[in-house]
Chains A and B, each alone.
Chain A
Amino acid sequence: DTAVSQTPKYLVTQMGNDKSIKCEQNLGHDTMYWYKQDSKKFLKIMFSYNNKELIINETVPNRFSPKSPDKAHLNLHINSLELGDSAVYFCASSQEQAGGYEQFFGPGTRLTVL
């Protein structure tokens, strides 16, 4: 069974369109994240939710809006897509434990904006 799943795996769209990426985790974790990984492979945190509450909201354009309907799901909606939004978007989840917390990542969604 997949621990953290994302859909779609690939997303190709035109500039100006609105798109959503969905994420689900079946690990029972309280915290979920969205990351953006650019062409240089740098992993940048965008948002984090803990028990459906937004706890990390990094400096990202307000065209990006996360939504957590329950603690197992965290979706990302992007309005008015721009060329610079092209990247791989990763969803992750974690559960705090002694000695830190491991983050479990989904397979990524490769977004290409034309």
Chain B
Amino acid sequence: TQLLEQSPQFLSIQEGENLTVYCNSSSVFSSLQWYRQEPGEGPVLLVTVVTGGEVKKLKRLTFQFGDARKDSSLHITAAQPGDTGLYLCAGDGDSNYQLIWGAGTKLIIKP
């Protein structure tokens, strides 16, 4: 069974600080996605990483896919209150069309 473990589960920091969220597995994934979910809404895709070692940047967010394609990280530089939300990682499952979801990291950025 493929599993994705996210850490930390919860993070509350001050505006301007940096943070890293991790998504780890013992399984290899062909691609991995990061989503952000805001209260009262559905998750929205931030990025998809496909190649081992790949790094993608989205403004202050940096996403990295591990060389072995078993893990990924999300680094936020100078966090803003607008970054508050639930961050979910999801990997391509064994069967077509199915994503394996991590349990999420709830991030709160205090002004």
Contacts and interface: CB of A to CB of B under 8 A. Distances in A.
B101 to A, nearest CB: 5
A45 B98 contact: yes
Interface residues of A, number: 26
A102 B33 contact: yes
Nearest to A43: B101
A40 B105 CA distance: 11
Contacts of A103: 33, 43, 45, 90, 99
Interface residues of B, number: 25
Contacts, number: 64
Contacts of B42: 4, 90, 92, 105-108
A100 interface: yes
A106 B103 CA distance: 19
Interface string B10-35: 00000000000000000000110100
B48 A42 contact: no
Interface stretch (A12-20, A48-56, A59-67, A79-87): A48-56
Given A41-B106, A106-B42, A56 B98 contact: yes
A105 B86 contact: no
A56 B48 contact: no
Contacts of A48: 97-98
Interface of A is mostly: strand
Contacts of A42: 101, 103-104
A70 interface: no
Given A96-B97, A100-B30, A102-B33, A41 B45 contact: no
Interface string B40-82: 1111110010100000000000000000000000000000000
Interface of B: 30-31, 33, 37, 40-45, 48, 50, 86, 88, 90, 92, 95-99, 101, 103-104, 106
